[in-house]
Amino acid sequence: MKKVNFIFIQPHFRKFDGHYFDYIYSLSQNLNQSTFDVSVYGARDALPEIQSQFSCFIPFFSAFAANSPLSSNSEKEPNTSLLAKYRSKSFKFLRKFRKISHTFLFKDITESFYFMWESIRFVRAIKKKFAKTECVFFVDTIQYFRILGYAFIYLMIKRGKVLQESHFFLFLRFSNHGDHRLGSMLSRWITKFAVRSLLRCCSTANVTLFTDSVLLKKEQEDLLKVPVQLLPIPAFRNNKHGSMSCFKQKNNLRKVITYWGGNNAVKGSEFVFRLLCSQKLSEANVEVHAQFDAQEIVMLKKQFAQNCSFLERNINNKYVNFLPKNIPSDQYDRIIERTDIMLLPYQGKHYAKCTSGIFTDCLANNKVPVASSGTWIAYELAQLNLNQLIFESGSYSSFEKKVLDVANDYHSFQKSVDQISDNWRKFHNPKSLADNIVKLVSFIP
């Protein structure tokens, strides 16, 4: 049987940051190898270690399209055509324009135009490599300034009849925020315009919009007036052999509390740092492992100078430990394994509807989360009857009390998490995600 090409389009995919690698890798490993040939089109400057994880990784998209500083040699292939000369001049203009653009709005506009050019180059590459074949395109993490480019890619492929059959999966991972700021309004307008244009010109049977959050599904369906599929989260961590693993709980004299995210206000870093300075840590007999680098610690000490008197004492007594940034995946796994309680004091609008990979790893591995109200995490916990793990958003006293209460009665809370985690993992795992995707593609038998 002739295989179907499964093509990941990942302009930002260059490092092991966040959960992008785990998402793509776990999904690719759980697609039926007798049915699919998997290709990953990632960033041109992707790490060799990333590229070596896949049988077919194409370092394709240049730096500007991947939302990083512009590379002066981003267009290396020789081309003397009029279009190439025009593109070269356009890139120079966009680089200069970006230097003087002091707002996210101008930055997003310039990146939108740049990614349109990258889309033309991508379609040309697809024509050469996959002409007259069946292809499934999977776009993880749609950012609104790229969605016009993705719509353009699909329209060019469909109208040019480049492929025998094709299906596009567009992952709507982010919220379009319901406020009236110019950036948010532009985000909603571009998303709505691009998706509606795409669906109007193509069969909706060949385009699947999806998300992994019930709250985002409702928001996007209200905005776009089209169905959005709810697909599983590939929740299990992968070990070095690529198989799914769920770590078993270890017994520690002190309960281990972990925070990931650095000095990031939307992740509640200020609450975490204040907890590190608390005298109550020694009384609770816990140790907190927080991901702050040296520069962030200096900044936070200045910000909370009046509350830092117990920090050094907590550090000396090993109640406080600091985790490095950009740690390897296997080290991350070991830290997750040792963790008892995970801090998720997320604030602001970003996590109100968006999913969290840290929470996913937490629940998949039977760890106890502590989360702020008004977030997707809190919504999920409420659906699982774990409201007792939610604290009042914006209140440090509520946060500290909840953390210490959970630590003091840890086994009771851990038992509650353990009772629901098995059923949760039956839906949220890489095999479930792969199976659900295959069901939505009409030309796969």
Rounded CA separation 194/152 (Å): 9
pLDDT for residue 247:
44
Q: What is the CA radius of gyration of the chain?
A: 23
Q: Which of 117-121, 151-155, 160-164 has the lowest mean pLDDT?
A: 160-164
pLDDT tens column, 81-109: 444 554 555 555 555 555 544 445 566 66
Rounded CA separation 391/196 (Å): 39
CA 428 centroid distance within chain:
15
Domains of the chain, start order: 4-234+429-439 (3.40.50), 245-427 (3.40.50.2000)
Q: How many helices (H) and strands (E) does the chain have?
A: 18, 15
Whether this model's pTM surpasses 0.85: no
Q: What is the mean pLDDT of residues 120-149?
A: 82
Say which residues have a Cβ less than 8 Å from residue 352's Cβ, sequence separation at least 6.
175, 215, 374, 375, 376
Amino acid identity, position 355: T
Here the tokens at position 286 are 């816990």
Model confidence at 241, in pLDDT bands (50, 70, 90)? very low
pLDDT for residue 42:
93
Model confidence at 204, in pLDDT bands (50, 70, 90)? low
- State the greatest distance between any 2 C-alpha atoms of the chain, in Å, as a whole number: 72
Q: How many CB atoms lie within 10 A of CB 405?
A: 16
Rounded CA separation 167/203 (Å): 10
The dihedral sign for the CA sequence 30, 36, 42, 46: positive
**pLDDT above 90 coverage of the chain, percent:** 44
Q: What is the mean pLDDT of residues 390-410?
A: 96
In angstroms, what CA-CA distances link 358 with 237, 264, 279, 378? 11, 14, 27, 14
Model confidence at 239, in pLDDT bands (50, 70, 90)? very low
Here the tokens at position 248 are 């078993």
pLDDT tens column, 243-276: 344 444 454 578 999 999 999 999 999 999 999 9
In angstroms, what CA-CA distances link 397 with 242, 278, 289? 42, 11, 20
Three-state SS for 150-213 is: HHHHHHHHHHCCCCCEEEEEEECCCCCCCCCCHHHHHHHHHHHHHHHHHHHHCCHHHEEEEECC
Q: Which of 90-99, 105-114, 117-126 has the lowest mean pLDDT?
A: 90-99
Mean per-residue pLDDT over the chain, rounded: 81
Q: Which residue has the tokens 């599904």?
A: 217
Dihedral (C-alpha) 376, 379, 380, 384: value to the nearest 10 degrees?
Answer: 170
Residue 71 has what DSSP assignment? P
Q: How many CB atoms lie within 10 A of CB 384?
A: 17
Rounded CA separation 410/414 (Å): 6
**pLDDT above 70 coverage of the chain, percent:** 76
Rounded CA separation 97/328 (Å): 36
Q: Is 88 helix (H, G, I), strand (E, B) or coil?
A: helix
Q: How many CB atoms lie within 10 A of CB 220?
A: 25
